[in-house]
Amino acid sequence: MTAIPAPSAARPAGGLKVTPWTLRLVSVGALGLFCAVQWAGIVRPGEGGKLFLMFLVAMVAGVVVATAIEMPRRWVRRATIAGVLLVALLAMLSVAGMPSWYLRPDRWDTLVVDAANGIGTLPSLRMPYRGSNEWVRIVLLAGGGLLLLCSAIFALAPRPWTFGAAFTLTIMYVTAIVEHRPDHPYFGGAVFALLLAALLWGERLTGKEAPVAAGLAVAAVLASAILAPHLDSPKPWVDYEALAESLQGGKTTTFTWNHSYSPLDWARDGQELARVKGRGDLYYKTANLEDFDGREWVQSKDTPVESEDTEYSFRHRGWTQTIHVDIKGLKTTQFLTAGTTAFVNHSSKKVREATPGTFEASAKPLRRGDGYDALIYYPTPSDIEMKAAGTDYPYFAPRGLSLRLPTQPGSGGPIDVHVTPWGNDAASTAQGRFGFQNYDVDAVMASSPYAREWTLAQQIKGASTDPYDYVRQVIARVQRGARYTETPPPPGKLTPLDAFLFRDHAGYCQHFAGATALLLRMGGVPARVVAGFSPGSRDGGEHIVRDLDAHSWVEVYFPNIGWVTFDPTPGDSPARGQQTDTLSIKAATPTAQGKTATPSDRTSDPTAGGSADVAETKGESGSGWYVAGAGALVLALGGWLLAWRRRRRLLATGDHDVAELQLALRRSGRAPANDLTLARVERMLAGSEGALGYVKALRIARYGSDPAAAPTPAQRRALRRELAAGLGLGGRIRALWALPPRFAELREALRPRRRRFYN
């Protein structure tokens, strides 16, 4: 049997030729995949799988668009390209997590509005994004997919714009590494430089030039990798921060921390206020707002500074640490610390204790250039530890259970309510001005502006099993149906917190924190409002605190643990742009270890105390079907266009079947000689009757008396088997690609066989 020569025997000395288009496809694919891996780290937790699917969609769409550009009819060409781009965009949005119900025509307006809101939120966020706003995550991930799609179209077009593809992928890579700071930047930069060089100049180099160019590129990158760590010194060559500070002319920002609940109107331009070195993502405190004056939460004026503020858990040494603070654009009398501060050292200003656990400058305020160290106690317990904390509160904890009600008829002044701690059988008390007159607590609360809050607190308490469960349910109630806005409606005749909870359901951090602390105290759980700054953004080992981070949150007291941070403000607020919502309204679910944990029940340290949670997808599930359908549509359209393009090129030769045979030999690794004839192919296939019949049919159709003669499906299958002979599974796949099945073969394979019965 004489078979077609093996690939090694028939391949010319120069090897198989690789077209420039194939080189561009490989180079843009390699660089795009590398950039997609980097972009996946722009959100936490990383989304490598989603970015890989977007990469596949982008490459397929790029190939299809490049093929469609060559279609002769303008309207068909434009319609095909527009359809492919639309399908690719919807596929990327679905992969990014867009709920499937957005694809319904009657929901397209909602889709546009939500996408616009997600994009509009991006400037105020810090990266990598750890929040739960689903549309922020969607637009971040889909943005990377769109960059991949643009680069694929630029590189694979019939008239390629390789520089455009390189520029797009460079933007994608630089943005990703700036936002999430990879662990090995020099290695990643070296890989990116080599892949970028391959994309820009790979197809221009001849066979002899390519090894030399590759060696020079590798040498240059290695030299850069050696020099870069030495050039990247701790001190900048040009201290642009110091230059910017000098140009600002000593510009500083001062904050007033007492609550007012009026619309926020201070300037927020991202000015850097301080830099903090410490472990974990801490909430930076300036003041405790321990007093509720009947309308607002304000700083306490009568708490002795020498009184105790917290218990220390010596079982958790990691809860105590020393932080270092450098003041930049902030002017303040309060020292910026975290948790409960034991003392302040190495300060450039004189220090005195303001309230238990907080400190202030005794003479001149802190401002740009000042710095200090602070020893802090910042507990980050797990949900299990908080549930097991019990109700044995220390003697000073009831300070966090007092409320002042506005003046009522016949009271002669404000009324102070002291709520009994959770688990204590004693009755709560209400006293008039100077403590001379006692009132019935339920009656006083029923006639006060906070009657609805009191009733709500007792209802939630009755449905809670312990203080921690009560905290969870209170925060869930405060967040339910509420939206974040910095211009809340005027309260009118209602108090601000009552209007927020029961009428408007709209406010900012002061409203969320104030309402939460009020309900917690009414339920017998010691709580207070805290003012300061959210964790800020990372810069190496430091956290940068900006004016956008000004914030209020809640601290709740747990016996044998201390004051624990909870943040009820939604995660899409400017100060919490990168933070996941602290608590959600979902029920507790079992973890992998069999313990019970509540999604998103975590304190200020994202690495401790529960798990982060991503908001539930609204509407219908099953967006994966849209992804699969969109991918199948793109692949089917791409296959049809590639087949059309291939047929068109073959017909341009004037002899479709003969040209297809030559192409099949080339694709199977048996590149035919320039003078290969049908007669020579017949001699090569003399041992294969079916394959020989295929070539004979071609010869008869070309030179014989029957121009309509054509190879049968069986002969075509025989030739395909001959092309794959001796090459294993890879050879069979290659032969299938070299000589794809025709419709007649598929029809014959599906034709029902006649059954034969034998007696």
d(CA 237, CA 272): 21
Q: Give the tokens for residue 65.
A: 């668009």
**Coil, strand or helix: which one is 389?**
coil
Q: Computed from CA positions of residues 42, 48, 49, 53, in that sequence, does the dihedral angle turn out positive or negative?
A: positive
Peptide bond just before 409 cis, omega within 30 deg: no
The Cα-based distances of 702 to 576, 654, 655, 698 in angstroms read 75, 11, 9, 6
Amino acid at the residue 232: D
Which pLDDT belongs to residue 233? 57
Q: Order across the sheet with 272-277: list the strands.
A: 340-345, 371-377, 320-327, 272-277, 542-546, 537-539
Which pLDDT belongs to residue 421? 92
**533 and 335 Cβ atoms separated by less than 8 Å:** no
Q: Torsions phi, psi of 202, nearest 5?
A: -60, -45
d(CA 105, CA 80): 21
The owner of tokens 């699969």 is 628
| Residues linked to residue 345 through DSSP beta bridges, in sequence order | 373
Q: Computed from CA positions of residues 519, 405, 360, 509, in that sequence, does the dihedral angle turn out positive or negative?
A: positive
How many CB atoms neighbour CB 105 within 10 A?
A: 6
d(CA 245, CA 495): 42
Q: Torsions phi, psi of 700, nearest 5?
A: -65, -40
Of 466, 356, 457, 353, which Cα lies nearest the Cα of 403?
Answer: 457
d(CA 172, CA 341): 42
Of 136, 44, 107, 93, which Cα lies nearest the Cα of 570?
Answer: 136
Element (H, E) at 90: helix 74-96
Q: Give the tokens for residue 315.
A: 């079982």
d(CA 408, CA 417): 13
Amino acid at the residue 318: G
**325 and 315 Cβ atoms separated by less than 8 Å:** no
What residue spans of 483-543 are helical by DSSP H? Answer: 496-499, 509-522
d(CA 46, CA 67): 34
Q: Give the tokens for residue 103.
A: 């694809």
Which pLDDT belongs to residue 645? 58
Q: Give the tokens for residue 447.
A: 């006639």
Q: What is the DSSP letter of 576?
A: G
d(CA 333, CA 329): 13
Q: 272-277 and 320-327: which strand pairing? A: antiparallel
Q: How far apart are the first and last CA of the chain?
A: 39
Which pLDDT belongs to residue 581? 35
Q: What's the angle, vertex CA 277, arms to CA 274 and CA 283, rounded to 5?
A: 70
d(CA 468, CA 396): 19
How many CB atoms neighbour CB 448 within 10 A?
A: 21
Which pLDDT belongs to residue 194? 82
d(CA 590, CA 740): 52
d(CA 626, CA 97): 11
d(CA 522, CA 351): 35
d(CA 542, CA 234): 13
**633 and 89 Cβ atoms separated by less than 8 Å:** no
Q: String of b and e for 697-722 (b: at least 16 CB within 10 Å)?
A: bbbbbeeeeeeeebbebebbbbbbeb
| Residue 333 CB partners (closer than 8 Å, separation 6+) | 360, 361, 365, 366
CA torsion angle for 503, 506, 511, 513 (degrees, to 10)?
Answer: 110
* Overall residue count recorded for the chain in this entry: 759
The owner of tokens 């999604």 is 599
pLDDT along the chain (759 residues), means of 10: 40 50 83 88 83 90 84 81 88 86 79 79 69 79 90 84 87 83 74 81 67 69 65 57 51 81 77 88 91 88 78 86 89 90 87 88 85 92 91 88 80 82 87 75 88 93 93 93 89 91 91 94 93 84 86 93 92 53 33 32 31 33 43 54 56 56 66 60 61 70 60 75 70 71 65 49
CA 709 remoteness from chain centre? 61
Which pLDDT belongs to residue 129? 76
CA torsion angle for 628, 633, 639, 640 (degrees, to 10)?
Answer: 160
Which pLDDT belongs to residue 568? 92
Amino acid at the residue 567: D
47 exposure class (CB count in 10 Å sphere: 0-12, 13-18, 19+): buried
Which pLDDT belongs to residue 595? 34
Element (H, E) at 444: helix 441-446
DSSP 586-597: SPPEE-TTS-EE
d(CA 223, CA 231): 12
The Cα-based distances of 511 to 264, 399, 569, 577 in angstroms read 12, 21, 9, 18
CA 633 remoteness from chain centre? 28
Q: Give the tokens for residue 737.
A: 């690609």
d(CA 483, CA 467): 26
CA torsion angle for 443, 446, 451, 457 (degrees, to 10)?
Answer: 50
Of 222, 188, 203, which Cα lies nearest the Cα of 35?
Answer: 188
d(CA 324, CA 375): 9
